[in-house]
Structure 1
Amino acid sequence: MHPFRSHTCAELTKANVGETVRLSGWVNRVRDHGGVLFIDLRDHYGVTQVLADSDSPAFAAVEKLRSEWCIRIDGLVKARDESLVNPKLPTGEIEVFIREVEVLGQAEELPLMVFGDQDYPEETRLRYRYLDLRRDSMQANMKLRSDVVASIRRRMWDKGFREYQTPIITASSPEGARDFLVPSRLHPGRFYALPQAPQIFKQLIMVSGFDRYFQIAPCFRDEDPRADRSPTDFYQLDMEMSFATQQDVFDTVQPVIAGVFEEFGGGHRVDQHWPQISYADAARWYGTDKPDLRNPIRMQDVSEHFRGSGFAIFAKLLEQDGTEIRAIPAPGGGSRKFCDRMNAFAQKEGLPGMGYIFWREVEQPGLDFFGFADDDGDIAPDQSTNAHYGRALERLEQWKSERIDLGNGHWMEAAGPLAKNIGPERTEAIRQQLGLGKGDAAFFLGGKPSAFEAVAGRARNVIGEELGLTDKDRFAFCWIVDFPMYEKDPETGAIDFSHNPFSMPQGGMAALEGDPLEVLGYQYDLACNGYELISGAIRNHRLDVMFKAFSLAGYAEDEVRSRFPSLVNAFRFGPPPHGGCAAGIDRIVMLLADEMNIREVIMFPMNQRAEDLMMGAPTLPTNEQLRELRLRVIPEEGDEGA
């Protein structure tokens, strides 16, 4: 028999009853049932119940076992009583009576429990990551990650791509984030860099004549951490194609990504239609370039309804250039309580608040409501002799004209401060434009879109969540296209690239002769459920167009040649048209695992301060290392010895 196991802890079934087996694993938990000790023995594959009674020669040794001790047991497989079968376990029909036990590795008092669903501080989990990774949820996440990567590789090979590896130690190249620098021992004073992405290398692979490249590539960026981004390194599906259009890239990538989500999405629906939405429309409709299309809310420009209106705040705003009023429809949000809650949300986001209108059902009041009554407060019997009758009737008709007749004496009216200020005609025009009705609401933000768009996008998400409009059982994808090539610095007025500087401008050289802010690039992102999964572009492979594109952003030709020498030199020798993209592996797995934090799907992640608490990184170099590299560390002010 094998020295450690004849079976894994997920293999034994009723077919093994009567066999002598050997299992190895960790003590998940121990249960003492009055002279019978039950142990859930766990390995990477599953759990098997093993037990020893007082007659077992191993009973005394089993009594000493504690949680997370690593043990080997020999025993006899027996069938459980029918009433004790555990249908949740593949091994739930059997149990193993222990004849012999050997402790392979003892465990001290645990800083965190592996069994159960207890929550622990992230610092504890990361410091003892090897224990955290033993937990069922983490084992499942890491297996999912491995399976997803294997599936992606198979699908890319099936699409005619080959996997090639690019260097990890290379030259610094601006990619929009900070580099991690590596000092050179052989070349004192010079530094390598860890690649932010294989961007230039994969383009050079296309110049080299390899038609379809992919790689599951590690990327390194010295960034501030976020819940959906690692502060140091991440992995991406990196791909590039020669002689490809933007649509070719979409048609190639969609079945790969959709197939992975169908395979590992836990039964959630995967949209087959992936709309292509311009960057401008995405900002206008959703307040973000990574919209969550599970939420059906689409914002609209309602500026015309407030221009010259009685609501002075918005009316004056609209007198300024570049301003507009945006409405966020909220189907089902037509209550003052919900409107007040959303107003409080806006204030937490740093805004004074959000204007709102909501539509509610009311009953038609009687004429007494409008002042038609006798001396006792009752309706006068002789309407023709009552002087107030005509006036009351006029007031009733006016009341009706400001509301929508729902029939049977029921009406719909608009409520809220905005409705009172702008009047019934403008309010009704807004309602019709937004397609709203009884029980609905709309929220309004105004000013320059760049100032409020992000908050409006977050408000849209909150409204969709709170009103149950967001379909949680779905993966909704969309391509964001037509990114602007350039943007203007609001303080200096200088023109700079707004996205990937190596993208081909739509219209080529001719497009660069006009207003830079009107130039669109062949750049694209793929969004899913509010996250950016893919970013890519058709590359600018023409040197004349590249030099012109960089010149508009203030980079002289000599500077471009010095900063990107390999690309510039390679493009002198017959570069093919090419394009590609990169998909974030960590973020894909995070969505598939239904996790909110990317660290839940990375085996050994850094914390929020870019520290590896388990390994103690970053560490101070030794004096010997510094001397060998001819480096000196300048202490921060306030440090001892500074």
Structure 2
Amino acid sequence: MAESMKGLHRSHRCTEVSNENIGQEVTVMGWVQKRRNLGSLIFIDLRDRSGILQLVFDDSTSDAEVLKKANELRSEYVIAATGIVRKRDGAVNNDLKTGDIEIDVKTLRILSESETPPFPIEENSNTKEELRLKYRYLDLRRPDMQRNLILRSKVTTFMRKFLENEGFIEIETPMLTKSTPEGARDYLVPSRVHPGNFYALPQSPQLFKQLLMCSGYDRYLQIVKCFRDEDLRADRQPEFTQVDMELSFVDIDDVIDVNERLLKSLFKEVLDVDIELPIKRMTYKEAMERYGSDKPDTRFGMELVNVSDVVKDCEFGVFANAIKDGGTVRGINATGQGNMPRKKIDKLVEFVKGIGLKGLAYIQIADDGSIKSSFAKFMKDEEMDALIKAMDGKNGDLLLFAADKTKLVFDCLGALRLELADQMGIIDEDKFNFLWVTEFPLFEYSEEQERFVSMHHPFTMPMEEDLDLLDSDLGAVRSKAYDIVLNGYELGGGSVRIHQGDIQEKMFEKLGFTKEDAHERFGFLLDAFKYGVPPHAGLAFGLDRLIMLMAKRDNIREVIAFPKVKDASCLMTDAPNVVDEKQMEELCLASTYVEEKE
């Protein structure tokens, strides 16, 4: 039967006990990790969030009642033990911080009993993720999970303090706001007081933080939950956390400067990693041309090569037709992979087909210089030689080519270089390669909507030298937007905002909004801008992604306490779920899905 805490106080966490406490009486509390009964001795490994400490029950020093309780202990029982710290009599465990000491227990209380857990509470569990998430409260007891969440706490605490010292003020913005459908889908919340009307959960505090600049707060900060109803990936969740900031009277360099210093200080303080400043900058155009991605992983080479001019006159229809139709032919050199078996090449072909490409062309250069190619019969010898030279192909290399619309070629080769680098094991996992990507296009064309849409949001400032292009070539207009990239992940992004009324009106016009549409969606912001708005800019870090990379995990669920799975459900609480009829009636709602099911 569980006992109470009455009159008992914990003096130390497990690993706070050290050699300095030898001979002293301490009281520790936690979970039983393991029990070993050697007859005259019982050893208990006690675990709390700090680590493990060995308890000893000795029939020559412990009374009969204590020994009886010690015999009852099982894994995950919660106990409190009081005893004397002493040097270990047996072997020292160098893997433990407390590996050379133990507690000779004099009193023991069983605070809570436990059933046998559905999986072992241990480091680097091989348990299926579905089971771990169903019993997340047990999964979170595991030391590696606790380290991840403690790391997260350290990071947020440090960032708050750093930005406070830089003059930022933390201000909370609303969770229940107005839907402004431009971008990802909103999560909607029905209003009981206003039947038929809905709040939206914020995808970002964007409009509110711009209003705070209008209100004169100069530098705003918030570590805030945001929500997007979109398909999930390993580095996405329906609810996620941003480190959100906005600054007045600044331009691009000012925002980059404060965030570079923040990252340098953070990585040094938390990971003891030195980041060299300034962080390299690369334009969006250069990133796409070299890496096929606007968030390139620069820890390895294998850059894209544009060979369109080399093959434009060849008789290989796949190449020639792609160029004729306004597309491109580009390749990557998988150095040293010239002997790759055909089955593996076929898998690479299937990989890019999954992204939308019809196929891959390839040249295998054997170690002796002989060549195998999927399209050699359509090429003259001099054309093949020129192509290999353009790709810097050498004996033992595998050259892979994509031919199609330029965007699709970028997407496919950008993903393929990552897949190959992973297969080849050429990525240095100990590196933290930061990169600023700048000068994003202001607009991108949506085939689905058959119009230009904002690449970021409609309040992003065009580059001043491109303002004239707003009336002639929307696709060529560059924005004053910037992303911070780390090891192939977008870590954060931001932009200089439009604060001039005429440019904002022009932006809405080019996005297809009438003045009435714009005022209906964003009227409160536009009205605020009539009363003196400072030049301002901002940035938001994805906190979950930042912690994932700092913890060297490959899934953000490993650094979130209670995450959702890929269908946006929670396996532990069984959310989302149906609500009772009375609640639906109060909200003036009915589910058409239920009616169809019936």
TM-score normalised by length of structure 1: 0.86
Q: What are the equivalent positions in structure 2 for 1:127-138 lying under 5 Å apart? A: 127-138=134-145
What is residue 516 of structure 1 aligned with on the other side? 474
1:328 aligns with 2:286: no
Say whether the 8 Å CA contact 2:307–2:387 is kept in structure 1: yes
Q: Which string of whole-angstrom CA distances, capped at 9 and with x for unpartnered residues, describes residues 323-354 of structure 1?
A: 111011222222243x7523421223325542
Residue type at the aligned position of 1:541: H
Say whether the 8 Å CA contact 1:271–1:476 is kept in structure 2: no
Which one of 286, 294, 303 corresponds to residue 298 of structure 1? 303
What is residue 568 of structure 1 aligned with on the other side? 526
Say whether the 8 Å CA contact 1:606–1:613 is kept in structure 2: yes
Residue type at the aligned position of 2:139: D
Q: Which string of whole-angstrom CA distances, capped at 9 and with x for unpartnered residues, describes residues 285-329 of structure 1?
A: 212211101121210110122122243432333332x11110112
Which one of 62, 65, 76 corresponds to residue 68 of structure 1? 76
Measured in 2, the distance between the counterparts of 1:229 and 1:293 equals 22
Measured in 2, the distance between the counterparts of 1:443 and 1:485 equals 32
Q: What are the equivalent positions in structure 2 for 1:311-350 lying under 5 Å apart? A: 311-320=316-325, 322-337=326-341, 341-350=344-353
1:501 aligns with 2:458: yes
Q: Please say which structure displays the higher CA radius of gyration.
A: 1
What is residue 408 of structure 1 aligned with on the other side? none
**Alpha-carbon deviation of 1:588?**
0.1
Specify whether residues 90 and 54 from structure 1 end up closer, same or farther in structure 2 by C-alpha distance, changes over 3 A only: same
Measured in 1, the distance between the counterparts of 2:538 and 2:259 equals 9
Q: What are the equivalent positions in structure 2 for 1:71-470 lying under 5 Å apart? A: 71-81=79-89, 84-231=91-238, 233-265=239-271, 267=273, 270=275, 272-320=277-325, 322-337=326-341, 341-350=344-353, 351-362=357-368, 412-419=369-376, 421-470=378-427
What is residue 435 of structure 2 aligned with on the other side? 478
Question: Secondary structure of 2:93's partner?
Answer: coil
RMSD: 2.2
Measured in 1, the distance between the counterparts of 2:22 and 2:7 equals 19
Q: Which moved further from structure 2: 474-483 or 500-509?
A: 500-509
What is residue 29 of structure 2 aligned with on the other side? 24
Say whether the 8 Å CA contact 1:306–1:422 is kept in structure 2: no
Specify whether residues 419 and 160 from structure 1 end up closer, same or farther in structure 2 by C-alpha distance, changes over 3 A only: farther
Q: Which string of whole-angstrom CA distances, capped at 9 and with x for unpartnered residues, describes residues 471-523 of structure 1?
A: 22211121222222223333664333233211112237533222212212112
Say whether the 8 Å CA contact 2:352–2:416 is kept in structure 1: no
Question: How many correspondences in the alignment?
Answer: 586
- List runs of 5+ in structure 2 lacking aligned partners: 1-5
- List runs of 5+ in structure 1 lacking aligned partners: 363-411
Say whether the 8 Å CA contact 2:149–2:560 is kept in structure 1: yes
1:7 aligns with 2:9: no
Specify whether residues 564 and 474 from structure 1 end up closer, same or farther in structure 2 by C-alpha distance, changes over 3 A only: same
Say whether the 8 Å CA contact 2:311–2:387 is kept in structure 1: no
Q: Which moved further from structure 2: 513-522 or 347-356?
A: 347-356
Measured in 2, the distance between the counterparts of 1:336 and 1:134 equals 44
Question: Secondary structure of 1:569's partner?
Answer: helix
Which one of 553, 569, 579 corresponds to residue 595 of structure 1? 553
Question: Secondary structure of 2:379's partner?
Answer: helix
Q: Which moved further from structure 2: 32-41 or 192-201?
A: 32-41
Q: Which string of whole-angstrom CA distances, capped at 9 and with x for unpartnered residues, describes residues 546-578 of structure 1?
A: 111111121101110111011110111111111
Say whether the 8 Å CA contact 2:49–2:143 is kept in structure 1: no
**Alpha-carbon deviation of 1:13?**
1.9
**Alpha-carbon deviation of 1:638?**
4.6
Specify whether residues 344 and 630 from structure 1 end up closer, same or farther in structure 2 by C-alpha distance, changes over 3 A only: closer
**Alpha-carbon deviation of 1:60?**
1.4
Say whether the 8 Å CA contact 1:30–1:37 is kept in structure 2: yes
Question: Secondary structure of 2:453's partner?
Answer: strand
TM-score normalised by length of structure 2: 0.92
